[in-house]
A and B are shown apart, each in its own frame.
Chain A
Amino acid sequence: MTVAQQPEALNFECETGNYHTFCPISCVAWLYQKIEDSFFLVIGTKTCGYFLQNAMGVMIFAEPRYAMAELEEGDISAQLNDYEELKRLCDQIKRDRNPSVIVWIGTCTTEIIKMDLEGLAPKLESEIGIPIVVARANGLDYAFTQGEDTVLAAMANRCPSQAPTTENEKNERNAIQKLLNFGKKKEDVVQEESEYVDHPPLVLFGSLPDPVVTQLTLELKKQGIKVSGWLPAKRFTELPVLEEGYYVAGVNPFLSRTATTLMRRRKCKLIGAPFPIGPDGTRAWIEKICSVFGITPKGLDEREAQIWAGVEDYVKLIRGKSVFFMGDNLLEVSLARFLVRCGMTVQEVGIPYMDKRYQAAELAFLEKACQEMGVPLPKIVEKPDNYNQVQRIYDLKPDLVITGMAHANPLEARGINTKWSVEFTFAQIHGFGNARDILELVTRPLRRNNNLKDLGWDKLVREEAKI
């Protein structure tokens, strides 16, 4: 048995960090919708506001539960009192919207002028009687989805630290459990409890659309694993209990600060697993959780095979093709691993930030996937340089480039297929049931090409315009 000559391990590089991505404050767009009783106040400048206004598109018109606290010259030069100004705005928010929590999003500007948001929040909180959570989701330190990480890390400190004493009350606290038990008699609920294996409490972290939360929760239930809570829950008032010794598992690759906080501050035990993206990832995620609890997983073989069979029509389209990730949302490693399993060759995985500890299991899984599928290991480029990447794209001629919107149209005009990366952040991509959605996105440019292939309209820029 001979193995083709391949590099032994993944090759990590780091470039200049001159790449395009969304500002991390964009996390308010999905978090305000997820946490229904929240209000997000972004303390920043017109630049921040302009970004949100344009990035969120039509959502902006739906009376969103977010606003800018727009800093003016007087705020920058400290002619105005930060505390008084914030109090005035938060009073107004309380009066108009009456939220259960106000999340302050610190920005580049509050960092530079060193506005002590963490210090002001507890004082103002006690004065107005609404919890104020501070997250510094700024472009100096973070990229795009890492914004959610900073918010969830701050929320982790707000989770109740002790389960209510009686068993009944505990059931009441749990939102999903309540949802699942809805309309059932108490005896049925007790009976259902016995469907679970006896294991230490497990809390999952990462914001996902509610249908996906239900799907993953039920997926674990099939293995007898009970999900005691999610960070975040549907409402701030329903944040899960976190006691010392609880187990936690992440569902998204960009949640390293949250994981660190849960381990160090809340003394939880982190289950390091690949992320439940793609049927292979979902299976590995479940298996890892099972193994930690000493459970033998059942039925996963058939489940995974069934999903793969179901998406074969899509996989056929991309098998043997190459893909290049320019990198902007930290989902890249998981998606690359899944696409390798689909038979693609990954040429480059650009990624804003690589936490090798938090993503360890996912990285190992990517290596394994490449070896098993007999494709070369991709180069992982942290803090990529978009200009250099575009030169590499011209050289490598990938069949598909996964990239931000700033580059998508110019690449398409040069005959290079692209998929806009932000869609992966907003589409439902987790669990067995959503594998098809990922492939729907990945194959869309290729299907479009099949439709237009005979028209000869591939390159739509004049030769001299090659920049």
Chain B
Amino acid sequence: MKLAYWMYAGPAHIGTLRIASSFKNVHAIMHAPIGDDYFNVMRSMLSRERNFTPVTTSVVDRNVLARGSQEKVVDNITRKDAEEHPDLIVLTPTCTSSILQEDLHNFVERARIEAKGDVLLADVNHYRANELQAADRTLHQIVQYYIEKARKKGELPTTKTEKPSVNIIGMSTLGFHNNHDCTELKKLMGDLGIEVNSVIPEGASVHELKNLPKAWFNLVPYRELGLMTTDYLKAEFGTPCIDITPMGVVETARCIRKIQQVINEQGANVNYEEYINEQTLHVSQAAWFSRSIDCQNLTGKKAVVFGDNTHAAALTKILSREMGIHVVWAGTYCKYDADWFREQVSEYCDEVLITDDHGAIGDAIARVEPSAIFGTQMERHVGKRLDIPCGVIAAPIHVQNFPIGYKPFLGYEGTNQITDLIYNSFTLGMEDHLLEIFGGHDTKEVITKGISAESDLSWTKDGLAELNKIPGFVRGKVKRNTEKFARDRGFKDINAEVLYAAKEAVGA
């Protein structure tokens, strides 16, 4: 037993449901008690889905405990098959069915006889896998099922597409900014003259899975979802897989160069160097930002990073390599894939933190006192408590992390979005800090005179000079606080001394 308040990755069945409901016309039936269909609420609320979430429950209640599910699961599958004619029904085990140890395989076999659509049992163990691992596995399972089915029927295409083409693998419902990333990747492929053969699972039909082998290569943008599938496709068809996440300027270039290499090996003759150069220097603003004064001021500032493998690793590299920010520690909750993370970030941070205990992370943040945090919603709340700004870069996320506006994290537009996110976090932090030094947001008494020139106080030359040294965005505030201080104490002229006395008075 473990005392827990918060978890970063959900239970296994959530992963399976995310895959199933990402596909078009696939229905998931959970073998679960009443109330376990909370996934439907999340999908409906977080991603503001207009359609009913294609997930229902075959309810486990007292009767099921007493006599087993018997006909119930089979009935529910055949009923859903008749009602909605899905291409595929995925029977999804939960923690409850894991311990009941009913022969769900048998139910699936029986339902297959009657159902017009296909029926699969998701092969996930609640106690061994989390949401991310289960999602990876379920995607692989579905792809494998339809490839084998097509092979049996002799429908498997044997040739590649004429022009270079790609399968984008791993876009899913409730994924962090997945829909925007998907659009950005398609645009990038368009720019590179590469056809998108298939995007799975989001929005895909299971019927198009047999066409996966036609692609020249597979692109897996997220470390957590899709690698099992691409390993399988590589073993079966020799399709090369590119698993470099195009997040940040350097990594995007690296990903594109890898694409160039992979398709040139297959007979294309492309050179993307000029494209990379043009995008880096003139389209993406991130490289220019690194050079600008704004970014210079961030040099050596302390930050910490926490999230899933993909986002935490990419952000760590961006902060350290592209902006010169000092990443004190970077961490992941993907404990099962910790070695990869360590290898990715070790040279870009002082320390690597592998844990799924939010308490330990909170403590590590408090200990380091960074100027900004990049983490999940949980770290955002730690930041609130410690008065440190936080940019949210990974799930678990709330409804505000499903923006309506276009906000990819991948590709060249992604670099712009990330730059804004990082810069806004830091400036806000600095502003807060300066406000505190010079007296805070609340001036407790009403200032009789405004901040205009008709003030009854006069600023001496050196006073004004000092005032002008204060960054513009807080200068007004500092001026008012100083004047209030001077008025309270009956000073007529404000010189540098008064200004610093005011600052000290606030500190005291």
Bound Cα distance from A418 to B35, whole angstroms? 21
Q: What residues of chain A lie closer than 8 Å to B398, measured between beta carbons?
A: 57
Q: What residues of chain B lie closer than 8 Å to A209, measured between beta carbons?
A: none
Query: Given known contacts A140-B33, A144-B35, is B7 in contact with A112 (CB within 8 Å)?
Result: no
Q: Is residue B366 within 8 Å, beta carbon to beta carbon, of the partner chain?
A: no
Bound Cα distance from A66 to B5, whole angstroms? 8
Query: Given known contacts A46-B10, A50-B10, A108-B60, is B5 in contact with A67 (CB within 8 Å)?
Result: yes
Q: Are B33 and A410 in contact (CB under 8 A)?
A: no
Q: Are B44 and A406 in contact (CB under 8 A)?
A: yes
Query: Given known contacts A109-B96, A413-B51, is B41 in contact with A406 (CB within 8 Å)?
Result: yes
Q: What residues of chain B lie closer than 8 Å to A281, measured between beta carbons?
A: none
Q: Is residue B453 within 8 Å, beta carbon to beta carbon, of the partner chain?
A: no
Q: Are A53 and B6 in contact (CB under 8 A)?
A: yes
Q: Which of A84-92, A123-131, A221-229, A356-364 contacts B (4 or more CB under 8 A)?
A: A84-92
Bound Cα distance from A80 to B1, whole angstroms? 8
> Number of residue pairs across A and B with beta carbons under 8 Å?
166
Closest B residue to A141 by beta carbon equals B62
Residue among A88, A143, A460 making CB contact with B1, cutoff 8 Å: A88
B366 smallest CB distance to A (angstroms): 15
Q: Are B33 and A405 in contact (CB under 8 A)?
A: no
Q: Are A45 and B126 in contact (CB under 8 A)?
A: yes
Q: Which of A71-79, A160-168, A196-204, A233-241 contacts B (4 or more CB under 8 A)?
A: A71-79
Bound Cα distance from A433 to B50, whole angstroms? 37
Task: Name which of B4, B5, B32, B33 has the most chain A CB atoms within 10 A of its CB.
Answer: B33
Q: Is residue A68 within 8 Å, beta carbon to beta carbon, of the partner chain?
A: yes
Bound Cα distance from A409 to B76, whole angstroms? 25
Q: Is residue A339 within 8 Å, beta carbon to beta carbon, of the partner chain?
A: no
Q: Is residue B498 within 8 Å, beta carbon to beta carbon, of the partner chain?
A: no
Q: Is residue A465 within 8 Å, beta carbon to beta carbon, of the partner chain?
A: yes
Q: Are B83 and A387 in contact (CB under 8 A)?
A: yes
Residue among B4, B10, B61, B65 making CB contact with A67, cutoff 8 Å: B4
**Contact string, B375-407, partner A, CB cutoff 8 A, digits 1/0?**
000100100100000000000101000000000
Q: Is residue A120 within 8 Å, beta carbon to beta carbon, of the partner chain?
A: no
Bound Cα distance from A179 to B471, whole angstroms? 53
Q: Is residue B473 within 8 Å, beta carbon to beta carbon, of the partner chain?
A: no
Q: Are B36 and A23 in contact (CB under 8 A)?
A: yes
Bound Cα distance from A25 to B38, whole angstroms? 13
Bound Cα distance from A294 to B76, whole angstroms? 54
Q: Is residue A51 within 8 Å, beta carbon to beta carbon, of the partner chain?
A: yes
Closest A residue to B86 by beta carbon equals A467
Q: Which of A13-21, A182-190, A247-255 contacts B (4 or more CB under 8 A)?
A: A13-21
Q: Are A409 and B3 in contact (CB under 8 A)?
A: no
Q: Are A141 and B36 in contact (CB under 8 A)?
A: no
A:86-130 near B, CB below 8 Å:
86, 88-89, 92-93, 108-109, 111-113
Closest A residue to B98 by beta carbon equals A76
Q: Are A390 and B61 in contact (CB under 8 A)?
A: no
Q: What residues of chain A lie closer than 8 Å to B355, measured between beta carbons?
A: none
Q: What residues of chain B lie closer than 8 Å to A57, measured between beta carbons?
A: 398
Task: Name which of A51, A80, A111, A465 has the most chain B CB atoms within 10 A of its CB.
Answer: A51
Q: Are A409 and B99 in contact (CB under 8 A)?
A: no
Q: Is residue B13 within 8 Å, beta carbon to beta carbon, of the partner chain?
A: yes
Q: What residues of chain A lie closer than 8 Å to B62, measured between beta carbons?
A: 140-141
Residue among B1, B48, B50, B53 making CB contact with A70, cutoff 8 Å: B1
Instruction: Supply 17 A–B pairs (Cβ within 8 Å), ascending by A.
Output: A20-B41, A21-B34, A23-B36, A46-B10, A47-B13, A47-B126, A72-B2, A76-B127, A80-B1, A109-B95, A112-B96, A139-B33, A140-B34, A140-B65, A387-B56, A407-B52, A410-B49
Residues in chain B within 8 A of chain A (CB atoms):
1-7, 10-11, 13-14, 32-38, 40-42, 44-45, 48-54, 56-57, 59-62, 65, 76, 83-84, 94-96, 99-100, 126-128, 130, 378, 381, 384, 396, 398
6 residue pairs, one from A and one from B, having the closest CB atoms = A23-B35, A139-B33, A406-B40, A413-B50, A61-B381, A85-B1
